[in-house]
Amino acid sequence: MTNDYIVKALAFGGQIRAYSALTTESVQEAQTRHYTWPTASAALGRTMTATLMMGAMLKGDQKLTVTVDGQGPIGKVIADADAKGNVRGYVTNPQTHFPLNDSGKLDVSRAVGTNGSLTVVKDVGLKDYFSGSSPLVSGELGDDFTYYFAKSEQVPSSVGLGVLVNPDNSIKASGGFLIQVMPGADDETITRLENAIKQMTPVSKLIDQGLSPEALLFEILGEENVQILETLPAQFECNCGHDKFLNAIKGLGKAEIQSMISENHGAEAECHFCRNKYQFSEQELQGLLENMQQNS
């Protein structure tokens, strides 16, 4: 069982919608699988945490993918999540690390870069995908997700994300919050929220102090104003599998499969998200080819 979880809440009589998450174990799983160095771990962990909370807004079998591409040394940061608390992610260059920035924090902005965009693609189970994108404003990611909601989804929001990394590269603590102003919220509530966020302790410090996702929301919004709706377990979960990769190989076309058989006597595929490897024997590829020929 995972200790990670997401909290969904309302505040100020439904004028505010809020999510918060503890993601230490999920980010640790990603760190272990990809052997990310500290700055890369922070970028990946922050992205996974935000994606997980966005996934919690979905319903049923809906899912979403977030791509952060700031043209920085880390390359792309990609995460996806569903409505059930499953999240996974990877970065192009996991062994990316820099000295701490001027404020003594991991220099995520330098790793991610600021010359690019944050893109969200939602698969809502229909034929159409919803896709939204916004330019990166800081590369620190919390600000970038905040800007994305304002720009692409027209919802005034505040996103706080934090990942702390131990000296041995393991994940000490990871989590975050996502607070949104609902239509019809009054000015007083919005001002209170803005002031609370301005004055709050950095989210990574609060998580390091052992604050639960509920306590994180109480800290920002005041316990008396928060109504917890539900909690949902969260975990690193990859839905890749042998058959999915076989299907992807099929998509490469007959000539490509024939060359895999004659040149490599089989094939190996590795999942970007979890790094599991799948082997396909010469016989299996031959069978796939014959099947394709029969059906063409």
Question: Residues 189, 251: one domain?
Answer: no
- Quote the pTM value: 0.93
Domain with 252 in it = 242-295
- Confidence bin at 172 (pLDDT 50/70/90): very high
Domain boundary among 193, 216, 236: 236
Tally of CB atoms within 10 A around 124: 15
Give Cα separations from 194 to 16, 136, 152, 258, 274 (angstroms): 12, 22, 20, 61, 38
Q: Are 82 and 61 in contact (CB under 8 A)?
A: yes
Count how many domains the chain has: 2
Q: Does residue 88 carry a pLDDT above 80?
A: yes
Q: What's the CATH code of the domain at 268?
A: 3.90.1280.10
- pLDDT of 154 over the 90 cut: yes
Is 88 in the same domain as 204? yes
Residue with the two structure tokens 């230490």: 24
Q: Please report how the helices 24-34 and 38-55 are oriented relative to each other, as an axis angle in degrees rounded to 10.
A: 130
Residues 281, 184 within the same domain: no
Query: Which residue matches tokens 């192009």?
Result: 92
Q: Residue 178 is inside which H or E element, if any?
A: strand 171-181
Residues 229 and 274 in one domain: no
Q: What pLDDT shows up at residue 224?
A: 96
Mean pLDDT of the chain: 93
What pLDDT, on the 0 to 100 scale, is given for residue 124? 82
Q: What is the mean pLDDT of residues 262-273?
A: 90
Q: Which of 10-14, 18-22, 92-96, 281-285 shows the lowest per-residue confidence on average (mean pLDDT)?
A: 281-285
Question: What is the CATH classification number for the domain harbouring 41?
Answer: 3.55.30.10
Alpha helices in the chain (DSSP H): 24-34, 38-55, 108-112, 142-152, 187-199, 203-208, 213-221, 242-250, 254-259, 282-295
199 and 248: one domain? Answer: no
> Do 26 and 119 reside in the same domain of the chain?
yes
Could you tell me if 23 and 146 lie in one domain? yes
Residues 218, 276 within the same domain: no
